[in-house]
Amino acid sequence: MSPEEAVKEGKELSVEERVALLKQAFGEYDGKALARSTNSFSQAMMAAHAENPALASELFPAIEDAFTDIDFGKMREAVIAWLDYGTAVASKSLEQVLDNPVVVANIVGMLPPMVNSVLEVLSALLENLDLPPEILASALFNVLTGIDAEKLGHVLTELSKQVNLLHAGNYILGGDEPRARAVTTDIAKRVLETLDVNVFVDALIALGEDAEVVVAAIAELFSRDPALVDAMARAVVGLTNVVARIFSNLMNEAANWPADALMVLGKEGRILDAAEFGRALDSFVTYSLRLREANPGLHRDLYVKFLQAINTEQAEIEVRAVLGDLKVAAVSNAGISKALEPEEMGRRINEMLAGFNRVARPAAVREYLSRLFATIDSRELGEAVRNAGGGFVEGLFASAGTARSLLKSVSSVAWKLIKGMVGLITKR
């Protein structure tokens, strides 16, 4: 009995019979005939286009007649009916498949070989695509230059027009508010009616925890191999340098823009609704205060947990090191060093004093201070001064050595101050 007859009768085939059946099936293909057919088709298309390039345009009246005579209403109903049948068949088929764990396991087992096959093909493609750099770059550039940029610009323009029309229609249909708000609200409402929010949130948390495990495992593998750490560091630093150069180049070009372009930016900037940012900040403050009122002690507990997790000794060492590095970096900058010179500091102080004197008047200062001290509780102020002064004095004289050293330093400074003032008066 031949393998074909055995298959028709539903008999089990041996391995040899299956191999013979496959060879017979694929052996009937004639590669040369396929090549001849392909070449004939190519030549026919080339000859037809050379003889009559407008052939497709000439066929348009027939296409127009077809679109005119087609009853698209019936076509819509037919498609809906066909989709309904297809959905029912697919649903019933899935039910039959999923009811059998063995079938499900076999179907799922097909996925790894399929993925492996695709990866193998891609691997072979990339391995054999071993072209010289200039040839590969030239091929890519030829593809890019072959794209009709004018048509691409036209497509983007027409797409932008459609977006603008959609935006205008959104307000026309909505009236007082955009129609999209009502549509979005309705869709979200219907989704939330059937969505188990708790299950959805638990799924997000589970995905996050799984991602945490994956990242931790990858980080552990990297930490074991210095070469991987070096490669990751080079990648991060290299990409950071690229971003820095991009931003630097953009700012360099922007700094050289003509005054007309800057005026255009200013004109557009005046449209910026800064009041909305202010209202957003005000709403955030209100929200924060209400959150505190509704949850007494919440922020304090969070701050305590946050600060307890910090090693203050290590943080102090880091802060000192950072400040020391910043000091060296600041001194090495010519502009900062010049600004810290006594003459430059004096000039800036003079400018601030002159600016203050231009706007300050004795009467205004007196009125401001009078109103300020009139609102201060003198009893609380006196008690605060007594508490602070008393505590300072008691703490100072708790150590005799410290007190003597301080008094000696203060006396020396006071004596030098009096001596200098007397000498200045004598000279004058």
**The pTM is what?**
0.71
Buried b or exposed e, range 311-322, using 16+ CB within 10 angstroms? eeeeeeeeeeee
Tokens of 1: 């009995």
Distance CA 30, CA 293 (A): 83
Buried b or exposed e, range 223-243, using 16+ CB within 10 angstroms? eeeeeeeeeeeeeeeeeeeee
Q: Which amino acid is at 308?
A: Q
Look-up of token digits 């001596």: 419
* Alpha carbon distances (Å) from 70 to 73, 83, 84, 421: 9, 20, 22, 109
Tokens of 80: 């809906």
Distance CA 407, CA 382 (A): 25
Distance CA 170, CA 304 (A): 50
Q: Which amino acid is at 343?
A: E
Alpha-helix runs per DSSP H in 195-225:
197-224
Alpha-helix runs per DSSP H in 9-148:
15-27, 31-51, 55-58, 60-69, 72-98, 101-128, 133-146
Phi-psi group of 175: left, alpha or beta (phi > 0 → left; psi -120 to 50 → alpha; rest → beta): left
Residue 326: per-residue pLDDT: 93
Residue 364: per-residue pLDDT: 84
Residue 105: alpha-carbon gap to chain centroid: 39
Q: Which residues neighbour 222 within 8 Å (Cβ) at sequence distance 6 or greater?
A: 228, 229, 232
- Is residue 232 within 8 Å of residue 222, measured between CB atoms? yes
Each of the 428 residues of the chain gets a pLDDT tens digit; together they read: 565 665 555 666 677 777 777 777 666 667 788 899 999 999 999 999 999 888 888 888 888 888 889 999 999 999 999 999 999 999 999 888 888 888 888 888 999 999 999 999 999 888 887 788 898 899 889 999 999 999 999 999 999 999 999 999 998 988 878 899 899 999 999 999 999 999 999 999 999 999 999 999 999 988 888 899 999 999 999 999 999 999 999 999 999 999 999 999 999 999 989 999 999 999 999 999 999 999 999 999 999 999 999 999 999 999 999 999 999 999 899 999 898 899 999 999 999 999 888 887 888 888 888 899 889 998 998 999 988 888 887 887 777 777 788 888 888 888 888 888 888 777 76
Listed residue (336, 354, 356) closest to 345, CA to CA = 336
What is the full DSSP assignment across 364-413?
A: HHHHHHHHHHHHS-HHHHHHHHHHHHHHHHHHHTTSHHHHHHHHHHHHHH
Distance CA 249, CA 241 (A): 12
Tokens of 262: 């800057």
Residue 122: per-residue pLDDT: 92
- pLDDT tens for residues 111-122? 999 999 999 999
User: Could you give the angle at the alpha carbon of 359 between the alpha carbons of 358 and 365, nearest 5°?
Assistant: 125
Tokens of 243: 């971003």
Residue 238: per-residue pLDDT: 96
* Alpha carbon distances (Å) from 130 to 125, 141, 238: 9, 17, 26
Listed residue (227, 232, 195, 198) closest to 215, CA to CA = 232
* Alpha carbon distances (Å) from 72 to 65, 67, 69, 75, 84: 13, 9, 9, 5, 18
- Is residue 87 within 8 Å of residue 94, measured between CB atoms? no
Look-up of token digits 């649903």: 91
Residue 7: alpha-carbon gap to chain centroid: 58
Q: What Rg do the C-alpha atoms of the chain give, in angstroms?
A: 41
Half-sphere exposure of 387 (CA within 13 A, CB side): 6
Residue 317: per-residue pLDDT: 95
Residue 15: per-residue pLDDT: 73
Listed residue (36, 11, 7, 33) closest to 21, CA to CA = 7
